[in-house]
């Protein structure tokens, strides 16, 4: 399992920063976790959630029990979280994030693609927070099509719990291009773990995973769906 920041003042600063981030997230958003179809367990887990803001993994991470936070690494965009010394400290030392290249890795350059990086992290025993849409959803669509990476990980690691998650309202708290967050209540809903069924193909599994995420939305949100 990946190690946490080692030794001395930097580690102490990371621990203090983590506590402050959790407190700030709760004060700003009033966030609450709803475990609708599962309970927190100290088992290797892949949490897969909708993605509308850079703060998504922060909110999900903050709602996990402290013992699970220590075992769980958010999957984060390297270009964003390594753009400055402060972001790099928060991403690497506070969250122990798995930094990925969002361009999928340079062709022929030896850089692993995101699925390869997540595969290695899961193989080492980490739990992960991932966003199967592959990019932030900044438009009006409720949920972008899911990428195939979730299927490949489910097939490679049948022992890992796959927990769907829906993050509600964070897009309104931190709209794209906004520097100052808008205080607004947020909810993180955890659903029933999924498993890849015997003989289930990629299209069927991805459709089932997408439906599991959408089913976690509050009723008022579902009511806005267009009629079939």
- Which residue from 107, 89, 109 is spatially nearest to 99, judged by alpha carbons? 89
How big, in percent rounded to 5, are the helix, strand and coil portions of the chain? Answer: 40, 15, 45
The predicted-structure confidence for 152-175, as pLDDT tens digits, reads as follows: 999 999 999 999 999 986 555 444
C-alpha atoms less than 13 angstroms from C-alpha of 132 in its C-beta half-sphere = 29
- Token representation of residue 83: 């753009």
The predicted-structure confidence for 175-194, as pLDDT tens digits, reads as follows: 455 544 454 578 899 999 99
* Residue 205 C-alpha from the chain's centroid: 19
* DSSP per-residue codes, 26-83: HHHH--EEEESS----SS-EEEEE---STTHHHHHHHHS-HHHHTTEEEEEEHHHHTS
> In the structure, what pLDDT confidence band is assigned to residue 80 with cuts at 50, 70 and 90?
confident
pTM: 0.84
Cα–Cα distance measured from residue 77 to residue 69, given in angstroms and rounded to the nearest whole number: 19
Q: What is the pLDDT of residue 131?
A: 95
- Token representation of residue 42: 């100290």
The residue whose two tokens read 């001395």 is: 8
The predicted-structure confidence for 118-127, as pLDDT tens digits, reads as follows: 999 999 999 9
> In the structure, what pLDDT confidence band is assigned to residue 8 with cuts at 50, 70 and 90?
confident
């Amino acid at each position: 399992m990946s190690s946490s920041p080692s030794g001395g003042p930097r580690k102490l600063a990371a621990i203090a920063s983590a506590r402050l981030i959790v407190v700030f997230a709760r004060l700003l958003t009033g966030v609450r976790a709803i475990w609708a179809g599962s309970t927190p367990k100290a088992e290797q887990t892949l949490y897969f959630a909708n993605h509308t803001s850079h703060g998504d993994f922060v909110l999900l991470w903050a709602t996990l029990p402290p013992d699970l936070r220590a075992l769980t690494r958010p999957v984060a965009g390297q270009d964003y979280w390594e753009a400055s010394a402060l972001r790099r400290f928060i991403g690497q030392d506070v969250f122990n994030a798995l930094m990925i290249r969002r361009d999928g890795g340079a062709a022929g350059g030896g850089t692993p693609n995101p699925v390869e990086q997540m595969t290695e992290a899961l193989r080492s025993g980490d739990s992960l927070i991932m966003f199967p849409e592959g990019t932030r959803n900044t438009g009006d669509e409720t949920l972008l099509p899911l990428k195939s990476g979730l299927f490949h990980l489910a097939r490679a690691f049948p022992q890992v719990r796959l927990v769907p998650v829906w993050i509600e309202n964070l897009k309104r708290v931190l709209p794209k291009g906004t520097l100052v967050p808008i205080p607004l209540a947020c909810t993180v809903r955890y659903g029933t773990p999924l498993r890849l069924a015997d003989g289930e193909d990629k299209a069927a599994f991805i459709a089932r995973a997408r439906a599991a995420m959408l089913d976690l939305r509050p009723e008022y949100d579902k009511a806005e769906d267009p009629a079939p």
